[in-house]
């Protein structure tokens, strides 16, 4: 983990990706979205860098098609 990286909450991830919570969890289960980090009981977060990399790959796939 990059020491400059930060953790995103579910709300922040949905704001960045514009995906709904059920969609995110389906994609995580399918292996097509970065997995969350379990911080405590009922508390998870995502690495900002992994989420932004995923967004960049989606944009690259769009331009390649």
* pTM as predicted: 0.88
Cα gap 32→26, rounded to integer Å: 9
Bridge partners of 58, per DSSP, are: none
pLDDT of residue 1: 63
Per-residue pLDDT of the chain (65 residues; tens, 9 = 90+): 676 789 999 999 999 999 999 999 999 999 999 999 999 999 999 999 999 999 999 999 988 76
pLDDT of residue 64: 74
pLDDT of residue 62: 86
């Amino acid at each position: 983990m990059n020491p400059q990286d930060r953790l995103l909450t579910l709300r922040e991830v949905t704001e960045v990706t514009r995906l709904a919570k059920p969609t995110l969890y389906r994609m995580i289960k399918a292996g097509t979205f970065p997995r969350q980090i379990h911080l405590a009981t009922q508390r998870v977060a995502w690495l900002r860098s992994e989420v932004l990399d995923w967004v960049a790959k989606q944009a690259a796939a769009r331009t390649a098609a």
